Structure 1
Amino acid sequence: MASYRKELYVHDRGRDRNVHTVIRNYTEQDFDGLIRIQQESFPPPFPSELWWNKEQLANHVRLFPEGALCVEIDGEPAASITGLIVDFDPAHAEHTWEEVTDAGYIRNHNPRGNSLYIVDISARPAYRKLGLGKWLLLSMYEVVVQLRLERLLGGGRLPGYHRVAGEMSADAYVEAVLAGELNDPVMTFLLRCGRTPVKLVPNYLDDEESHHYAMLMEWRNPFLGSPSEPGRHG
């Protein structure tokens, strides 16, 4: 697959200006900047051992460079997204983040799989009003289409759940977010990016804010038939 590169302007609402950005595959030269994104995006109580390390990043660019994208602004990474290909069976949807991503090392990347699984998406707080996360997901949809995969898939944290966990179950929280009665920083964002719910997964990640839940959500490739029909791997 050819390397990915897209240039565009995004609007900075805070400063009422347009910002030139580049979305591209990240490389070894970006590793320090990518680790900085993680540190700023996931401060404590998020476990620091879940931030990227250079061995993980080296695997991303070696095993599946098509799934390793970043947004470059002013010559440095401002946001990133990482994925791997898995063979997903909706009948056995429950899993943990550690299992499905090989704890972020993606040594289980399966080029013959049917789904692009999102390992991580994050943006430096100073750039979050630019909509970079949505642009990265849209770019990954393009990767799904080009590789003729069935879907993009990933588990979304529920960081707003801890505020109401004493009043409602996780299932009720998800239903309230879907109905627009509550706003969750991650799930609501994913819904706005075109993702649809698949399954609420318990014990997905060591994440106190989410009470360890995640909402498994997908985006289906509209250029293929139903997931049971032959696609890239039929």
Structure 2
Amino acid sequence: MYKKWYVFDGDKPVQAVIRNYTKADFQELIDVQKESFPPPFPADLWWNEEQLKEHIERFPEGALCVEVEGEIVGSITGLKIDFNPSRPEHTWSEITNDGYIRNHDPNGNAIYIVDICVKPAFRKLGLGKWLMQSMYEVVVHERLERLLGGARIPFYHKYQKEMTAGEYLSRVMEGKIKDPVVTFLLHCGRTPVQVLPNYIKDEESSDYAALMEWRNPFLSLKY
């Protein structure tokens, strides 16, 4: 993939590019992770070069980065999985092979998002939404059923003494709570499926995530 367009910094148009990342980009991608996920997010969950190497070798179509005026400022990574809607439970470690995607299934029916991140200074440009839209395009191009991913619920720790994670997600869907990740993904067209316990070590989310999907509108799926 390679696409070039303009985003707006206030009233100023700024050129951006989304493309597949390569070995030459590894250090910049790791730097993006460090800026995007500061403590208390676990540092051992930032990308390492071996993981990135697996991404570009196993599923380069799902390894995308975004540049603004030549600087890599964000990325999104996915792998193909064979998703069974009747058995949606999983952890991030299980479904992504700890981020190494060695379990990538070339014959899978869905793309699973391993990670999406944008440097904080560039989030006002709407690049996260553009990255997600680009992965929807990969889903369509590959003729897959859907895109899936576990969404952090980083504000849940503020409410965990008052409600369950499922109740928290319901409040977000009712518009009574604005969660920075779930609300962002709703704006991107994703739909909640269910809450996943023990999804990933994440103090802010109390280790929970919301499984969220986007279905390919060009394929007939039973709802």
Query: Using the alignment, how far apart are the partners of 1:177 and 1:131 within structure 2?
Result: 21
2:25 to 22, 30, 38: 30
**Residue segments in structure 2 that go unaligned for 5+ positions in a row:** none
- Residue 155 of structure 1 corresponds to 150
Give the ranges of 4+ consecutive aligned residues of structure 1 lying more than 4 Å apart after TM superposition.
Answer: none
1:87 to 71, 82, 85: 82
- Residue 221 of structure 1 corresponds to 216
Overall identity of the aligned pairs, in %: 62
**Residue segments in structure 1 that go unaligned for 5+ positions in a row:** 229-234
- Residue 70, structure 1, aligned to residue 65, structure 2: yes
- Residue 8 of structure 1 corresponds to 5
| Partner SS, residue 104 of structure 1 | coil
TM-score scaled by length of structure 2? 0.98
TM-score scaled by length of structure 1? 0.94
| Partner SS, residue 90 of structure 1 | coil
| Partner SS, residue 89 of structure 2 | coil
Deviations 1:123-146 (A, max 9, x none): 011101011000000000000000
Q: CA RMSD in A?
A: 1.0
Query: Using the alignment, how far apart are the partners of 2:110 and 2:9 within structure 1?
Result: 33
Aligned runs of 1:1-234 on 2, under 5 Å?
A: 4-13=1-10, 16-226=11-221
Contact 2:65 2:76 in 1 (8 A): yes
Contact 1:26 1:69 in 2 (8 A): yes
| Partner SS, residue 186 of structure 1 | helix
Give the number of aligned pairs. 223
Contact 1:30 1:76 in 2 (8 A): no
| Partner SS, residue 223 of structure 1 | coil
Deviation at 1:83, TM superposition (A): 0.2
Deviation at 1:76, TM superposition (A): 2.1
Deviation at 1:227, TM superposition (A): 5.5
Query: Using the alignment, how far apart are the partners of 1:20 and 1:171 within structure 2?
Result: 40
Deviations 1:73-128 (A, max 9, x none): 12221110000000011111110000000000000000101000000000011101
Query: Using the alignment, how far apart are the partners of 1:153 and 1:169 within structure 2?
Result: 23
